[in-house]
Structure 1
Amino acid sequence: MTGNEINRAALNPTSSAVVEACAGSGKTWLLVSRIVRLLLAGAAPSEILAITFTRKAAQEMAARLRDWLRLLALAPDEEVRHFLRERAVPEHEIESLLPRARSLFELFLSAQPGITINTFHGWFLQLLSRAPLESGVGGDWGLLDQTSALLEEAWQLFAEELQSEPGSEAAQALDFLFTEHGLHNTRSLLLDFVAKRAEWWAYTQGAEDEATFAAEALRRDLAVEPERDVLAELFADSGLILDLQSILGLLEINTDTDKGFAVGLARVLSLFPPDHVGCQKLRALHHVEQHTAQCASLIGALRGLNLEDIFSAIFAVFFTLKGDPRKRKASKDQAKRLTAEGEARLLELHGRLCERLAAVRDALAALAAYRFNRAGLRCGAGLLAAYQRLKEERRAVDFTDVEWRVHQLLNRSDHAEYMQYKLDCRYRHILLDEFQDTNPLQWQIMRSWLDASTGAGSAPTVFLVGDPKQAIYRFRRADARLFGIAADFLEQGYGAARLHQNVSRRSAPPVLEAVNRLFAQEGEFTGFELHQAHHADIPGRVEVLPLAQDDTDDSAEAQPSVLVLRDPLTEPVEEEEDQRVEREARQLAEKIGGMVGRWQIATENGGSRPTEFRDILLLKRSRTRLEIYERALRAARIPYVSSRQGGLLDTLECADLTALLTFLITPFADLCLAQALRSPLFGCGDDDLMALAREPDGSWWARLHAVAGREQSSPALLRALSLLQGWLALTDTLPVHDLLDRIYFEGDLLPRYDAAVPEAMRGAVQANLHAFMEQALNMDSGRYPSLPKFINELHQLRRAPAQEAPDEGIVGDVGNAVRILTIHGSKGLESPIVWLLDAHASPRNERGYRAVLDWPPESPRPQHFFLYAGKRERAAQWQPVFDAEAQLERREDLNLLYVAMTRARQALIVSGSESARKFEESWHGKLLRAVQVDSSTHEPQTDKVHVGCQKLRALHHIEQHPAQCASLIDVLPLARVASAIPTGKRTSQRQTEAQRHGIRLHALLEWIAPPAPVLDRAWLQDRLEVDDAEFDALWQDALHLTQAPHLQRFFDPAHYLNAWKEVPYRTAAGESRRLDRLVEFEDSVWILDFKVAERAEEGNLAASSAPYLGVMREYRVAMEGVFAPKVVRAVLVFGNGLVFEVD
């Protein structure tokens, strides 16, 4: 279907429709357009219900509808006609609908009740508020936004109850969990159980004792008999012992490895009573000690024996550490040792014993799983009951309670038909946005209403839109499979048209080409259809950079390294993985520096403009090690905004305010006062604080009185004393918000923080300060506004999980700054340039100590609900559940990659760092395969892989394709030199002091040398992490080199055409190299390689240079191919300024 045909079917106000729309296709535009068409068709605003999944999305939807209706009311007729044509209004109806279109804005504003545009939870709260009192689910209930503090209180209450009844089943169960699994794991298990309480309620619905019901269902599924002693039965079987004795005799005369197994097995068998069948044969073991090494683990397991140890020792003879049967097969040599009959007997016994032991292993795992679940389910139900009691006592509900109450109200209560009738009378048109994020309870609520409407002959129209490819919220209980279930239901019961919109209005063709190549070949990514670009002429590019490796320093490799011991108290262990991430982070900063101002961004009017920092969006799977990338951006002076979930109270500005408020209620809190004085609010310097510290006695508040009262006192201290005295007097009389308002105004707080932070950070800091003020209003709805309570709540929020702690403020205009987000946080956003970081990272490993459930989307309740500790208690009967869960997780991992790629409008860059993960399985490997270009069609490959204009495949010919693709190509300071790539591997030895000095001097030269020199001494010293004396020595050494008369031409921009620092390239053999400095003059190009850790002498200059001549000649040959016909010269620069030119 064409786009117009899809719009006609989707926007038809008289019929239902299901639209599966790809990323960037305009789902919100389609949904709001449908609302406009409904209003044009005569629907009353009160009859329309639009549901989405976030408050922000609902607000944006309402704002767009309001703007469109205003346009219809005020725009010229021709513009209104064009608007209606875009929304598939039949041409013959446009003129007659103009008066109606003009009146919609007034109708929208004056309608009582109006259009309902809300989230599922917001709408559910409305339903509960209108439920009959007799139902027991309505009434005056407060909504809990944060539950962690109440859960902690419930844990304490649960523990106290069990202490008072130590003999109860729950107390014994908790004691079992503590003993076998520890406190931390037990808490994690039970809190996860409570988090899945809606599924638990659905699973145990109607049961009198939920824990007993679930445990009994699990016992039947696992086919276990709790009182059965599996091991005693096993070892009571004389046939098993005879088989073991038989195979023992064969192992004793087989390979050396088998002889070792035989020793261990013989010792096990010798432990059985003498009257056990055949045991007397084991007494005459004459070579037990000959193969002790091979079976030490077996023998060790038999000390302090019990049946479990004996079984483990026997099991190890027949199974590998991974639990797989040891492989045995026939061979000529084995037949010679055992005879053909003996070999056949060995293979037959091995297979039979493996089968028997595996069955026992599975039975033991099932029994352990049952005992763990029996205890865990009992304790989980008890903790949940305590949590629910606390909420009832406080007349409070959380979001899960809201969902469950509405589910019961519309499905199983005596008032279900009444509520369904009320819904039918109110709403005639239902619009559901982002339906792939729906959970089973939400769908069942909608399904019960729709079934009832169909049965009563009053079915509404339903418009459902979503994209299963963007389903990334399984951790919030969403199930993307419901999209297909709901689509089938609406198609069969409501005659809904099923539509697929695969035209993206966001991404450029090269980005979509990469998307198509990658996901079309992914077997797990079922249902994918090729995407098309609405704007086919927008230029774009995809780059897959090589994985970052460990750094290496040429000078360190050329010299013998000295092993230096690490002081564990002052020097942390350097993790190789973090070093690789740091390398990727430096690569990021370097490339962004080359992109801004040089890449061209297409504009809406068909023109282009230079790239700004604000055009770049950095995406990462999670926030793990995000600070490494942020540190690299700060070092490169690149402005960025990084909003952290739950990170408001961790920001410096909010920590300053918290310290100030803490001082106001505890004036003896010296550290809090010192932090407040040093903050931009008061601006006291180090000298001011030292003056207070030198005072002999009293608290710092008393010292501030004493110091500020002197004639020579600092104005900053005088101002601080005056303000603090005024605020202290108001602490007990004003609500927190009013006190903060006074502090903000009288302290001139916002302008002072503006002046104290870099321009790129001002928006974020201002937003955080406003968010802190808002927090004072939000906390307990302002009902308990005392300052001590507010401070206590802040401390609790700091300890709360990230998803419950207050987020950093939303920056309205981030300014010209790079944005850093997680992929989940970027949902619904877009950017001209998207950089996917850490693309070689592995998804999280399988987590233990959690509740596992299997809820088929078409089922009214979960099929399985059990607790999982780890592989030791993993019953074989659960394997299909875990396989299905793993498949869903793999699909969601691909969905996450799809979401990341489709945020990009013009350019997608992908990077990562090396790890132990298989290359092909990572996002980086998948993307590289998707965009790989046949290297035989052009010159030797560069360090990255591109997809884009066919003319531009060979980047060595950039200058041949100028204007039409300039926005794709103007990338690098030197177009023919590749961007940053990994070079070498870091050595594990510790450097000498001289080497460390040389490495720091090398870094200082890189920073202070043009282009883009950094001359802020304080920043440089902080970056180098050295004291004043060492920095002064480094600074003088650097100036000695850059200002030396014979070297000045290489550092003074007045003397050269172009200069580049740390220029990487790849050799024809695929090896990575990096040039310290590359300088281009009118007639020549010079390569400078710094050996600043060495101080050569005039007499031995050639000898000192000899180790580096080979690589320097290689550098020169490589650059001659780039800068021909200019002469390329190469020189070594030593730490004392001596220069040696390579011939």
Structure 2
Amino acid sequence: MNSSQKNIFDFPEVRVVEASAGSGKTYALAKRYVCLLLSSPLKADEVAISNILAITFTNKAAFEMKERILDFLRSIAFDCLSETEKNEIIKPLGISFSEAQKRAFTAMEQIIRHYNYFQVQTIDRFVNSFLAGCAFKVGLTSNFKIKTNYIDYLQYSLDQLLEKAEKDINVYNAFEEFLRNYLYLENRLGWFPKEDILSIISMLFNQSNSYEGTFIKGPLTSSGIIKRKSKILEDMKLLSLEVKGQIHAGFYKSLESFLAKAIESGYDIDSVPKRFANEDMPTRKSDKVSDEALKLWRKIRKNLKALCEEESASLFNPYIEVYDQVMKGFYERTTKDDVLFLSELNKRASQLFSDEFVTVEELYYRLATRFRHHLIDEFQDTSRLQWQNLSIMPLEALSTGGSLFFVGDKKQAIYGFRGGDVKLFDEVKKEFSAFNLNVETLSNNWRSQRAIVEFNNAVFSKENLMDFIKKKESYEEDKNSQKVVFDENDMEEIESIFSGSQQTFVKENNKGYVEIVSIDIDKKEERDEEIRNRLLKIIKELQERFELGQIAILTRNNDQIEQVTSWLLEDQISVRSERTSDIRENGKIKELVSFLHFLNSPIDNIVFTEFIFGEIFLKASLIDPADIQSFVFGLREKLRAQQDLYVYTEFRDHYKEVWEKFISGFFKNVGIYPIYELVVSIYNEFNVLENFKDDQGFLMHFLELIKKYEEEDLDLELFLNHFENLKGDDLYVNLSDNDAIEILTLHKSKGLEFPVVILPFLGMEVQVGSQNADMRQSYLLQHKESDIELLRLKESYYAYSEELYQIYRSEYIKAFLAELNGVYVSLTRAANELYAFIPQKVGSRFNILKFLIPQELYVCGEKVKYISKSNKEAGLVRLSCGKYRNWIEYLKGEYKSFGEITNKGKRLKGKIAHFILSYIGNLSEQDLPEILCEVREQIRFEFVEERDLDIYFDNAQKLINDPDLQQYFYCKDAFVHTEKDIVDEKGNLKRLDRLIISENEVCIVDYKSSEDESKDNKEQIVEYIRIVKNIYPARNVRGAILYIDTHNVEEVF
């Protein structure tokens, strides 16, 4: 490395970019990548991109970064950069622009030629790549499969364990203990045990994969807790006798009352008299208690502390016990199927490094590359497990003159529930401070208009945040609900996180509008109705200035998405949300699924009726819907009278032509052909893609799901069951091109921007131990080195255990910051206009966010019409629908007739003869005995079970040496091809047994065993002649069917 390069980058270097919302972090990452790529001359034989690794956290972010990098390189190569960009990218490199252009051209060529080295990818994809190279070391084969839906495997393992419980008393007791604790801990009344057990196990599985370590049980069993409680109760009875008449009357009365109830029915820590939380015994001023009483008092308090801590750590032991047993079966099955789930990648990869199975040198060897420069996006959401898997490579790179570049924003750390640890952001800076650490803050907001930038600057200023916390604590003190008081360290942490919140807007973005409305209604139904009315009013007003597709509504959870989607659909407003993009909710897909259910089980009258009432059938068949309605309802009396009456048989008799044209073929062939080809043929027969262009996304996604499923199974019934239970990304179809309001959760909105954002439920709900807004849990994860405890926290514990209170306090601060970060993300998505409703309550609690936004900020800026509505369709080029053939008809050629299937011996004879003749080229240039000798060597491996092969070679020699047939084997001045593949104009592949090409003529030879199907044989070779004539239009093309058994030849012209 020359000195100029050292001055430019000063390697080794750790550069940290703190990028607030809208400040251009993708731009910064792409710019860094391009600068690294162009910083030295690129040699033709050197692949510079192979030395750079860029890690993102979503596929969308990886795509955007690649797009931006390629756009930069193109702009440099073709001199399209602005002067500002030239100063930011080219000038620091210390090279001329013409040199930069040459390097950009070379870099683009490298990316095109070596795209596999263009390492801009998600962390999961990268971890998968090095796991694939070290699979054996973690108990996998090199061909292991990655899956996303682990629920089926967990459910299977749970079912196996439930069956085992009938015979194994230990398993039975584990389930009984689990259910007893579950009913108590989760406070459930009506429930479905199996589904809830599966839900808990699934949650634990996810959490286990997010953190390093394994779940450990607490020190006490249920019986151990009961014993400790009994011992405390005995001491309390002794204390009661010892202090009678000597202590505060109120306390003595409460103690006696507690003892009476506890002796009869047991007790919970909540019911213990509160005075035991005090260090001193509540005595009367004039009385003095005995030393024995004081000794008992201290003993009781000590045991209450131990009880709280041990009970807290032990109540979830049954959860861990059942989880451990389910996971045994789970891993047995995944090992058998050679499967690894996406959520397991990082946990499994960590085994390589924690157990020192692999060194960084070996890792680079497995990856077939060595990275000198590392770029990491969204670092604030990186988990410790992920960083553990990545960190050895940046450390090695830095020690050899490389670099680490990471970008993030602590204010946007909202994925703590997935293991993201914002503290890593500062810890890594400190850890790598010896490697030329540079910290850069991006303060320009390129996204939002002035009013929105200034609004957020005011809301998240240090003064306003401090004022917010004071008001919150004052309110909680008045309501006697204060549990945590923020101390100086907490304030410093908040200040540190939001220290970079103050941004400047771009000069051109000097408009914008913000409107905040407080919904001060206590009853939820009335509050929701008010929000609904205001929301619809705002949307109608916005439609005068914006297209629907420019509006986004952000919610806290999926339940709110359902609620808001319903409101808008009821008012005939187009919506794009998880509900509307759910493939199972699409009308055309429902009709197709009904038809497939019918084909699978024709006696199901309901699904057949659903299909013939649907648009797909009616539009294709041209039957009047009123006629179908009359037909179906006319069957009511028959259906009542005949239990075994099937609607499809009545339909077949009533609409014979329609049945034959549209349904009969599928009815006869279902189960014979693959599901994918069956559904494609349905699309073709009913002209589905042409008739329902607006549903193309759903229809094509349905085919993708079938294709994906067929990799594992081909059964139609199992596919329909699989489809009913779809989960995750497979459920949703990307509908980005339609003009509709987008509704999504704030977590899904991270990294996105919209011209208009509406927040109908803006609030803060600080809950310790909750996962996220859609998945509550009653336990808290407590990490102890390589172990993870499940703690039960409740307020009554804190009075006796300072340790548990400090754990609660720490988790409360963490939950508070996560909520505050969520508010920041929500308020910074808008580019032009921002609207928010602050409801009185979030859930059942007062919405403390009311204290965050000062009333003077409720309206900022003014409403402006930015651009006139443009007709998107005018500039949109719509691709015509794909034309699908009737695959069932086409595939019939791939399946043998019944006669062929039953005459296996005849088929084998023909197959062996074809194999031998496929080696016979142009014998005018080859030696026949030598060729046959070679064939004898090969044929032994192809037809192992066939003992007497000599007869086949004798027949082949007779055929070849027949004087009438020698013209087809001894071809002077001609080229001979055997088993020649040709393709017709539609892309269909055909294979010719023998193709003889001479100067003026082309001859196609087709071998057949017998003349039984002469007509079909002739049709086939006529088709071959037609295709070959298109390839050799200037030559005479003829065909010859050579019958192996009789040596007859049928010529075809």
TM-score by length of 2: 0.68
Pairing of 1:827-838 with structure 2 (within 5 A)? 827-838=750-761
Q: Name the aligned partner's letter for residue 35 of structure 1.
A: Y
Residue 54 of structure 2 is aligned to residue 50 of structure 1: yes
Residue 565 of structure 2 is aligned to residue 626 of structure 1: no
Select which of 341, 356, 360 maps to 2:286. Answer: 341
- Mark the CA change 1:119 to 1:227 in structure 2 (over 3 Å): closer, same or farther: same
Partner residue in 2 for 1:795: 724
Partner residue in 2 for 1:235: 234
Offset of residue 328 of structure 1: 12
Question: Secondary structure in 2 aligned to 1:654?
Answer: helix
Partner residue in 1 for 2:1031: none
Q: Name the aligned partner's letter for residue 770 of structure 1.
A: M
Partner residue in 1 for 2:582: 647
Residue 412 of structure 2 is aligned to residue 486 of structure 1: no
- Mark the CA change 1:187 to 1:45 in structure 2 (over 3 Å): closer, same or farther: closer
Partner residue in 2 for 1:822: 745
Partner residue in 2 for 1:462: 404
Does structure 2 retain, via aligned residues, the 8 Å contact 1:841–1:915? no
- Mark the CA change 1:411 to 1:813 in structure 2 (over 3 Å): closer, same or farther: same
CA-based RMSD of the aligned residues comes to 4.0
Offset of residue 725 of structure 1: 2.1
Offset of residue 536 of structure 1: 5.4
CA–CA separation in structure 2 for the residues paired with 1:178 and 1:107: 61
Offset of residue 543 of structure 1: 0.5
Partner residue in 1 for 2:142: 139
CA–CA separation in structure 1 for the residues paired with 2:408 and 2:509: 27
Q: Name the aligned partner's letter for residue 794 of structure 1.
A: F
Partner residue in 2 for 1:593: 540
Deviations, residues 334-355 of structure 1 (Å, cap 9, x unaligned): xxxx9x637xx79x99999987
CA–CA separation in structure 2 for the residues paired with 1:135 and 1:916: 45
Deviations, residues 515-567 of structure 1 (Å, cap 9, x unaligned): 122222324463312111124543011111231648xxxxxxxxxxxxxxxxx
Select which of 52, 59, 62 maps to 2:63. Answer: 59
Select which of 529, 539, 562 maps to 1:582. Answer: 529
Q: Name the aligned partner's letter for residue 449 of structure 1.
A: M
CA–CA separation in structure 1 for the residues paired with 2:90 and 2:229: 71
Does structure 2 retain, via aligned residues, the 8 Å contact 1:768–1:809? yes
CA–CA separation in structure 1 for the residues paired with 2:225 and 2:563: 52
CA–CA separation in structure 2 for the residues paired with 1:89 and 1:685: 71
Residue 140 of structure 2 is aligned to residue 196 of structure 1: no
CA–CA separation in structure 2 for the residues paired with 1:634 and 1:841: 28
Q: Name the aligned partner's letter for residue 24 of structure 1.
A: G
CA–CA separation in structure 1 for the residues paired with 2:867 and 2:734: 35
Partner residue in 1 for 2:393: 449
Offset of residue 21 of structure 1: 0.6
Does structure 2 retain, via aligned residues, the 8 Å contact 1:142–1:395? yes
Does structure 1 retain, via aligned residues, the 8 Å contact 2:232–2:300? no
CA–CA separation in structure 1 for the residues paired with 2:110 and 2:145: 33
CA–CA separation in structure 2 for the residues paired with 1:719 and 1:173: 59
Question: Secondary structure in 1 aligned to 2:149?
Answer: coil
Deviations, residues 351-410 of structure 1 (Å, cap 9, x unaligned): 999877654443333343454344443333222222111110111111243223322223
Select which of 419, 424, 435 maps to 2:379. Answer: 435
Residue 48 of structure 2 is aligned to residue 103 of structure 1: no
- Mark the CA change 1:870 to 1:173 in structure 2 (over 3 Å): closer, same or farther: farther
CA–CA separation in structure 2 for the residues paired with 1:20 and 1:144: 35
CA–CA separation in structure 2 for the residues paired with 1:730 and 1:144: 31
- Mark the CA change 1:638 to 1:650 in structure 2 (over 3 Å): closer, same or farther: closer
Does structure 2 retain, via aligned residues, the 8 Å contact 1:407–1:445? yes
Partner residue in 1 for 2:512: 540
Offset of residue 462 of structure 1: 1.5
Does structure 1 retain, via aligned residues, the 8 Å contact 2:512–2:864? no
Does structure 1 retain, via aligned residues, the 8 Å contact 2:554–2:745? yes
Offset of residue 805 of structure 1: 6.1
Offset of residue 24 of structure 1: 0.9
Select which of 325, 330, 352 maps to 1:409. Answer: 352
Does structure 1 retain, via aligned residues, the 8 Å contact 2:309–2:804? no
Deviations, residues 646-677 of structure 1 (Å, cap 9, x unaligned): 93323333322222211111111111112222
Deviations, residues 1117-1136 of structure 1 (Å, cap 9, x unaligned): xxxxxxxxxxxxxxxxxxxx
- Mark the CA change 1:820 to 1:326 in structure 2 (over 3 Å): closer, same or farther: farther
Q: Name the stretch that deviates more: 580-589 or 840-849.
A: 840-849
Q: Name the aligned partner's letter for residue 84 of structure 1.
A: K
Offset of residue 512 of structure 1: 1.4
- Mark the CA change 1:747 to 1:916 in structure 2 (over 3 Å): closer, same or farther: closer
Does structure 1 retain, via aligned residues, the 8 Å contact 2:151–2:202? no
Partner residue in 1 for 2:176: 175
Select which of 69, 91, 99 maps to 2:73. Answer: 69
Pairing of 1:928-943 with structure 2 (within 5 A)? 929=854, 932=856
Select which of 947, 951, 963 maps to 2:860. Answer: 947
Q: Name the stretch that deviates more: 145-154 or 42-51.
A: 42-51
> Identity over the aligned pairs, expressed in percent?
21
Offset of residue 237 of structure 1: 6.6
CA–CA separation in structure 1 for the residues paired with 2:99 and 2:70: 22
Does structure 1 retain, via aligned residues, the 8 Å contact 2:56–2:62? yes
Deviations, residues 670-706 of structure 1 (Å, cap 9, x unaligned): 1111222222212363552342231225211122223
Does structure 2 retain, via aligned residues, the 8 Å contact 1:45–1:113? no
Select which of 372, 377, 380 maps to 2:323. Answer: 380
Q: Name the aligned partner's letter for residue 436 of structure 1.
A: Q
Partner residue in 2 for 1:694: 634
Partner residue in 2 for 1:881: 807
Partner residue in 2 for 1:1088: none
- Mark the CA change 1:32 to 1:262 in structure 2 (over 3 Å): closer, same or farther: closer
Select which of 110, 114, 117 maps to 2:117. Answer: 114
Partner residue in 2 for 1:85: 87
Offset of residue 583 of structure 1: 2.2
- Mark the CA change 1:966 to 1:646 in structure 2 (over 3 Å): closer, same or farther: closer
Question: Is there any run of 5+ residues in structure 2 with no aligned partner, and where?
Answer: 1-5, 43-47, 184-192, 466-490, 619-623, 640-644, 771-775, 869-1053
Offset of residue 134 of structure 1: 6.0
Offset of residue 615 of structure 1: 2.1
Does structure 1 retain, via aligned residues, the 8 Å contact 2:553–2:741? yes
CA–CA separation in structure 2 for the residues paired with 1:15 and 1:110: 30
How many residues get paired?
A: 794
Pairing of 1:738-753 with structure 2 (within 5 A)? 738-753=677-692
Deviations, residues 1025-1080 of structure 1 (Å, cap 9, x unaligned): xxxxxxxxxxxxxxxxxxxxxxxxxxxxxxxxxxxxxxxxxxxxxxxxxxxxxxxx
CA–CA separation in structure 2 for the residues paired with 1:581 and 1:161: 48
Offset of residue 504 of structure 1: 1.0
Offset of residue 624 of structure 1: 1.7
Partner residue in 2 for 1:726: 665
Offset of residue 79 of structure 1: 4.4
Q: Name the aligned partner's letter for residue 577 of structure 2.
A: S
CA–CA separation in structure 2 for the residues paired with 1:177 and 1:147: 22
CA–CA separation in structure 1 for the residues paired with 2:779 and 2:256: 43
Select which of 515, 521, 526 maps to 2:496. Answer: 526
Offset of residue 900 of structure 1: 1.1
TM-score by length of 1: 0.63
Does structure 2 retain, via aligned residues, the 8 Å contact 1:645–1:806? no
Partner residue in 1 for 2:654: 707
Question: Secondary structure in 1 aligned to 2:99?
Answer: helix
CA–CA separation in structure 1 for the residues paired with 2:411 and 2:429: 15
CA–CA separation in structure 1 for the residues paired with 2:270 and 2:422: 43
Offset of residue 16 of structure 1: 3.6
Select which of 695, 700, 715 maps to 1:786. Answer: 715
Question: Is there any run of 5+ residues in structure 1 with no aligned partner, and where?
Answer: 1-7, 205-210, 252-257, 270-298, 331-337, 551-575, 598-609, 710-717, 755-761, 934-944, 953-964, 971-1143
CA–CA separation in structure 1 for the residues paired with 2:316 and 2:376: 38
Question: Secondary structure in 2 aligned to 1:427?
Answer: coil
Offset of residue 819 of structure 1: 1.6
- Mark the CA change 1:849 to 1:172 in structure 2 (over 3 Å): closer, same or farther: farther
Q: Name the aligned partner's letter for residue 947 of structure 1.
A: C
Select which of 721, 734, 741 maps to 1:810. Answer: 734
Offset of residue 635 of structure 1: 3.9
Partner residue in 1 for 2:816: 890
CA–CA separation in structure 1 for the residues paired with 2:153 and 2:662: 37
